[in-house]
Structure 1
Amino acid sequence: MPIILNSSFAAFGTVTTLLVLVTLYIFNVVYEVQPVPFLDEIFHIPQAEKYCKGLFGEWDPKITTLPGMYLLSVGVLMPLSSVLGIDLCGTYGLRMMNVFACFANFYIMYNIQKRLYPEMKGLESSLQVLLSAMNLAIFPLLYFFTFLYYTDAIATGLILLTYLLQLDGCTLLATLTASIAVLVRQTNVVWVAFIAFLSISHVLKLHILKYNSRLSPTVSRSTKYLQVLLDTLLQTWKRGFTSRVQLAHNILYNSGGFIVIGLCFLGFIFWNGGLVVGDRSAHQAVLNFPQLFYFSLFLVVFCFPYMVMCVKRVLVTVIKHWMLILMLMLGCIVIIHFNTHVHPYLLADNRHYTFYVWKRLYERHFLIRFLLIPFYLFGAISVNQLLKETDLAFRTGYFAFVTLCLVPQRLLEFRYFIVPFLMLRLHIRLKTWWQLVAEFILFVCINASTIYLFITRTFYWPDSQEVQRFLW
């Protein structure tokens, strides 16, 4: 056992050192070529600098998120500036916040997987979890924005930390991190609600195990779980007032903080007149169901090493339920035809990859929107297959909250897919080395390509002398 622990610790230290060195090198190269704020940074960095100067009453009305990231930056950088005697609250120091968030996210995701799969204790299993955490830390969408002062790394890290704390039963700390997560990015409230849902589901599951011996792992993963849950709740009701109060107490103890956050957020929406602060004209909620299709195709690409193993099972499902699949395809056709939204930002900014995806794929070849439907369905069915070893509550909640997160968004923006992807990927049970290695190679190649394009493939707009770069 000591040999295994020493080997695991040595491997963890080696991987962490490699991640730190490579990330710091890329960070400095990016800073050298782009030392001034770029794109959304022209709003974020000046606002953070104002807060560093104590100008908390000044606010840029074009910023649409709450000030959580700026407050965190002030709380970290200003004390360090005082100790070191230098001003860290500039572009370099503010971007460095996301570098530290990247390292923290690696450690958090490593521990989440250790909690989710406690049976993976041997040296080989520990190394698989370690490589998996490394892969997730360099997940291209999340890793790229490590090098700019965007909200993604910190906002994602706070949601992951909240989930880890909830898995550990640290409800008060989880409530605190959840509150900060919402202050950094409003849409994080959806994932706070998801974690609250999982917390309540866990309490109910423990309640069932206490009073009902019929709950096996197989039952908890099937629709039979609903009947067992209903039977147990009816028995609790019949047992009297004490049993009901005890169950209610357990639910509130584990999720009460999240409920308070939800109520406060509803109050904020009522007071603010909407979800978005600042400029709301370009961030109005709509019903955009094709967002789920885009996300499904996104998963086919980034979960390819895992989804490729689902091909046979998906074909069996299609053959067995061909009538249902046909109806789903017809539904997709109707949705795409009548419900496709094109945000003005998507067509106006040629720095983003989504501009080229839309212009050269969806817009130029109109039929491609419909020809991609089989891939959309393959992705959706594969997700269900990949999550088959999770509880019914998690699968149901995941699909529901992904829908709640993505459908109201009018803009096709890959960054919206970061947390949905990570929540899925963290719950894919690790089985083979080749999938992890293939995933690592895939992510490294994508990162190398996107960072290379950002650094070297610059261009200029006719009406501007500022250098432009390609990014997600």
Structure 2
Amino acid sequence: MSSDTRILYLVYCGVAVAVLKEFNAVVTEPYMDEPFHVPQALAYCRGEWSTWDPKITTPPGLYLLSVFLHRVFMFKCNLALLRLTTTLTLFALPLVLARLLRFHQRRRPPPTLAPSIEALVLSTFPIAWFFGFLYYTEVPSLVSVLCTVVAAAQNKHWLAGLLGIVSCLFRQNNVIWVLYAYAASQLMRLRFKRGHALHDPPAMGAGPSDFLRSIMSAPKVLLELLPPFAPYAVVLALFAGFVIWNGGIVLGDKSNHVPSFHVPQLYYFIAFATMIGWPAVLCGEGGPVKVAAEVISRMFGSKRRTLLTVITSIFMGITIQRFTIHHPFLLSDNRHYTFYIWRRVFMLHAAVPYLFIPGYQACAWAWWIRVARDQSLLQTLVLPVLILPTLLPTPLLEPRYFLVPYILLRTQVVDVQPYGVFVEGLWYATINIATTYVFLYKERGGVGRFMW
């Protein structure tokens, strides 16, 4: 099996190289955000460390990675080889994903260069795959976050802390995922440790009273949890120092990145996750029928559940009415798919955003059922809780913001059937072929290239 997956991994890398060559052959000038990133990287390559474009809002991790490749491996600092920086991290993605999947599946990790088929498929997730060929921070950021989570899962907490610092050099809000790495590792450890005092029952049968009992029991394990937290505390302290020094989280262009309270962003995320990840949702043990039956039962299985669904719907309606944000970038930039989704769907009629509320709830329940089946209550809750501070403050509807949350969510689904992984791979490939073809070969005069 391992030799077969090594061959598949080489095929994966070979296809990525071929796609990168085509990107470089067709898109010969920096595009979209690249005109900001590329000159900054070139300045660093020349040793101009004090140069900084004030329009750049993310830390310099991407440029530092390119300078490292330039100095150590003699990479030239030109557009093609700068893009190769991100493609190399795309090569690393299945290797680290294979370990994260095995952590959740509670199985031994695979040989180093023999990632599982599921890891290879998940590495072609459309957002990661597309931005693996442009000089963007998305894939390096994702890989650094996943490395942090895997190191924490292996109880290598000081390594996880170091990798967490590296991840924050790509994106500031990765500090949230550093906390996730710590929490996920400790909850898994406590789950299989006899005699611990934390109340953390299986998620599928848990209720609100169990959550309250979990909170009440947390102080009993606090002393046990503090020693492994030390490296993560260092990361938090350094991050706090950065925020004080910078006068806020955002670098550079703060005017267009003002934190907001964008509650519907959570609904967009769960809808996006389901539209792209439906094979993982539907292709578990029992198939689509079992998932659908459980979702209906959770929403309408009793008078109490029906009442809860109605109350939740009213609450969601209020949040949509009060906190929907029509971001000027979303309304003005017609080179993104979200521009057309917003204009032609959400702005079709004032009632349209509210019509999706039952769908949002059904999607959320479907993911809960798929993830909770093999996890404890707190294991299932920790990711949604930490998604809140990453998505709520972001005013712009942008699929790239969903990349890390989606991958972390998808890796928690441990029983996708082989046919489901195959369907998932076909679905991702279809999206990738379509979006890449449109981007490369369907440029429109006066508009430009369409992209995520």
- Give TM-score scaled by structure 1 length: 0.87
Alignment of 1:34-45 (within 5 A): 34-45=27-38
Amino acid at match of 1:78: R
**Match of 1:160?**
146
Secondary structure class of the residue paired with 1:398: helix
Inter-CA distance 284–58: structure 2 relative to 1 (3 Å threshold): same
Amino acid at match of 1:437: F
Deviations along 1:242-283, one digit per CA (max 9) or x if unpaired, are xxxxx63x5333221111211221222122111111111110
Shift of 1:230: 4.9
Amino acid at match of 2:194: L
Rounded to whole Å, the distance in 2 between the matches of 1:30 and 1:332 is 42
Shift of 1:431: 4.1
Alignment of 1:104-183 (within 5 A): 104-119=92-107, 130-183=116-169
Rounded to whole Å, the distance in 1 between the matches of 2:137 and 2:127 is 12
**Match of 1:97?**
85
**Match of 1:326?**
310
Rounded to whole Å, the distance in 1 between the matches of 2:266 and 2:69 is 37
Inter-CA distance 27–43: structure 2 relative to 1 (3 Å threshold): same
Rounded to whole Å, the distance in 2 between the matches of 1:313 and 1:203 is 29
**Match of 1:244?**
none
The answer (yes or no) to whether the contact 1:182–1:188 under 8 Å persists in 2 is yes
Inter-CA distance 228–209: structure 2 relative to 1 (3 Å threshold): farther
The answer (yes or no) to whether the contact 1:142–1:153 under 8 Å persists in 2 is yes
**Match of 2:7?**
14
Rounded to whole Å, the distance in 2 between the matches of 1:446 and 1:156 is 20
The answer (yes or no) to whether the contact 1:211–1:232 under 8 Å persists in 2 is no
Alignment of 1:432-451 (within 5 A): 432-451=417-436
Deviations along 1:89-120, one digit per CA (max 9) or x if unpaired, are 11111100111101101110012112322348
Deviations along 1:179-200, one digit per CA (max 9) or x if unpaired, are 0100111011111122222244
Inter-CA distance 458–268: structure 2 relative to 1 (3 Å threshold): same
**Match of 1:297?**
271
**Match of 2:324?**
340
Amino acid at match of 2:323: N
Rounded to whole Å, the distance in 1 between the matches of 2:408 and 2:380 is 11
- Give TM-score scaled by structure 2 length: 0.91
Rounded to whole Å, the distance in 2 between the matches of 1:18 and 1:41 is 28
Residue range with higher mean Cα deviation, 436-445 or 329-338: 329-338
Deviations along 1:283-324, one digit per CA (max 9) or x if unpaired, are 000100000110111012112113332211111112221110
Inter-CA distance 121–394: structure 2 relative to 1 (3 Å threshold): closer
Gaps of 5+ in 1: 1-7, 82-86, 237-246, 462-466
Give % identity.
Answer: 29
Inter-CA distance 397–219: structure 2 relative to 1 (3 Å threshold): closer
Shift of 1:77: 2.1
Rounded to whole Å, the distance in 2 between the matches of 1:276 and 1:372 is 32
Rounded to whole Å, the distance in 2 between the matches of 1:280 and 1:78 is 32
> Is 1:469 the equivalent of 2:435?
no
Amino acid at match of 2:178: V
Secondary structure class of the residue paired with 1:150: coil
Rounded to whole Å, the distance in 2 between the matches of 1:380 and 1:306 is 14
**Match of 1:314?**
295
Report how many aligned residue pairs link the two structures: 436
The answer (yes or no) to whether the contact 1:51–1:70 under 8 Å persists in 2 is yes
Rounded to whole Å, the distance in 2 between the matches of 1:200 and 1:11 is 34
The answer (yes or no) to whether the contact 1:199–1:255 under 8 Å persists in 2 is no
Tell me how large the CA RMSD over aligned residues is. Answer: 2.4
Alignment of 1:173-322 (within 5 A): 173-202=159-188, 204-205=190-191, 209-211=194-196, 218=202, 222=206, 224=210, 227=213, 230=216, 234=220, 248=223, 250-308=224-282, 309=288, 310-320=291-301, 321-322=305-306
Rounded to whole Å, the distance in 2 between the matches of 1:46 and 1:400 is 37
The answer (yes or no) to whether the contact 2:141–2:170 under 8 Å persists in 1 is yes
Rounded to whole Å, the distance in 1 between the matches of 2:260 and 2:214 is 37
> Is 1:371 the equivalent of 2:364?
no
Amino acid at match of 2:5: F
Rounded to whole Å, the distance in 2 between the matches of 1:119 and 1:56 is 45
Rounded to whole Å, the distance in 2 between the matches of 1:413 and 1:27 is 23
Secondary structure class of the residue paired with 2:73: helix
Shift of 1:227: 3.8
Gaps of 5+ in 2: 283-287
Deviations along 1:161-211, one digit per CA (max 9) or x if unpaired, are 0011111111111111100100111011111122222244356546x6245
The answer (yes or no) to whether the contact 2:98–2:109 under 8 Å persists in 1 is no
> Is 1:63 the equivalent of 2:56?
yes
Rounded to whole Å, the distance in 2 between the matches of 1:345 and 1:271 is 28
